[in-house]
Chain A
Amino acid sequence: MNAATTRIGSGAGFAGDRIEPAVALAEHAGLDDLVLECLAERTIALGQRRRLADPDLGYDPRLRARFERLLPVAARRGVRVLTNMGAANPLAAGEVTRALLREHRLPGRVAVVTGDDVLAELDLAAPAWEDGIALGEHGEVVSANAYLGADALLPALATGAPVVLTGRVADPSLFLAPLAHRLGWDLADPEQAAAGTLVGHLLECAGQVTGGYFADPGVKDVPGLADLGFPYADVAGDGAAVLGKLDGTGGAVNRATVREQLLYEVTDPTGYRTPDVVLDFRSVHATETGPDQVRIAGARGRTRPGELKVSVGYRAGHRAEAEITYAGPNAARRARLAADVVTERLGGTGLRVRAEVLGRLGDTPSAEAECRLRVAALAPDADQADLVCHEVESLYTNGPAGGGGVRTTVQDVIGIVSTSLPRELVHPQVTLLEADDAAA
């Protein structure tokens, strides 16, 4: 399939994103593709735990709610939907999606990309990138997922399926793949891979390029933030792209919003590594070409890395968090005294404890002065985490005067460290699920 230009939209930038702007894009934007990026670093590890408890789970818990709204519209408008909501169980996500298509009597097939789960290939003695310590020494390893590239998605796109589900795929690759498919690009060409990766990088956080995570009243105003629209890009065969959003939605697309997103999370602008390319941002330029319209061009690329990054999830213990408020004159000193008391009482546990006074109003003698002591600790088990919370709760009657509003939470923590694997050890696969054969 070769087109002069193609329009690709972004329908989610993280697991907790809003769905309304995605539905609006699918309905009104004339999209060819809509991509929903829903996997943060930890999301797969959390999904893996749900999958261990129930082999039918492990995909994005919001998948059904999102697709209930989105797929009927996408089918009617002929928009292909790509998403990593498969998380730790893409095949189960595919089955849920197939069932949903049948319920709504929608035609179509679901292409599921697997192969990112590389737990079986993992060498636990290999050092983590972050600290050089062996992967297995961080705690019980629960997941290991390779960041697949656009090449892993192309066979799924070749099936013509209108819904493509994946687990871990590098965020920009979710966009590069459909662009390459529509525009006839060669992924082995670093310039084309760079152009598509740049577009993907700009779109992957959805509202963050249309004025979300941006407004600063009186300095950087964003009109209609409550009705923030999500972005799309018109991408030409030569890689130049024009970013925009739906008329009538809130938000803004201008050089400032685009620049902020352009460098977001980029730890080396001279060589941003993805599975598809090493992208150089130094030659990229952004030009406003109309209201809420910015043209992007100039991405340069170098040949993709030989290894794939692997994200490893491990059990890191339990995090306790507990807070208490002090107000009025001398509030900050009472909060700091409470911090000292709790720290001393927990001194014998050997836990890593952080006690901090939040809010800086307590030193002024005002009735409205208020600050909050926050105590956090990482404990090896839930019992010790409860102990931390208990020591904050007991400040009510065993601490400084006038402490109120204790809230405590304990969460088990999945830590993430990174390593890499040679590409040859990672084997992406595509499974095609037919929705129509149920009708038979």
Chain B
Amino acid sequence: MLLHEIAHCRAGDKGDISTLSLFPHDDADYELLRREITADRVRAHLAERVRGEVLRYELPLLCALQFVCHQALDGGVTTSLALDTHGKTLSSRLLALVV
């Protein structure tokens, strides 16, 4: 199934970094996300756009995973040549990952 079926995501930007916040619709799926959605998988899934390292933070009280993706915005919002300079669409692209 697609990650989209069990989780939702929001993208944020800071310089050339994209933050992707991932949450299960149902708290019971948090362990599944924690097990399956590793930093390496996110990096591989978004490899066309994310050029740097991906760090993952776990926030169990919020049932959240925070992915901090470096070199993700073509140099940064202000000088990027991408159409989506902020990387807003990366959140939905992440949800296309097959779990």
Q: Tell me the A residues contacting B by CB distance below 8 Å.
A: 41-42, 129-130, 213-214, 216, 219-220, 256, 259-270, 281-286, 298, 316, 319, 352, 354, 356, 358, 374, 376-378, 413-416, 418
Contact = CB atoms under 8 A, between A and B. Distances in A.
A265 B12 contact: yes
A162 to B, nearest CB: 33
B13 A265 contact: yes
A265 B20 CA distance: 8
B10 interface: yes
Contacts of A267: 14, 17, 19, 68
A351 B64 CA distance: 42
A265 B8 contact: no
B8 A219 contact: yes
Interface residues of B, number: 29
> Which of A265, A284, A286, A374 is most buried by chain B, counting CB atoms within 10 A of its CB?
A265
B81 A354 contact: yes
B1 interface: no
A117 B83 CA distance: 31
Contacts of A213: 10
Interface in B44-99: 57, 59, 61-64, 66, 68, 74, 76-79, 81-83
A164 to B, nearest CB: 26
A260 B21 CA distance: 7
Contact of B61 (A129, A266, A283, A415): A283
Contacts of A282: 59, 61
Contact of B68 (A42, A261, A268, A352): A268
B4 interface: yes
B81 A42 contact: no
A275 to B, nearest CB: 16
Contacts of B77: 41-42, 416
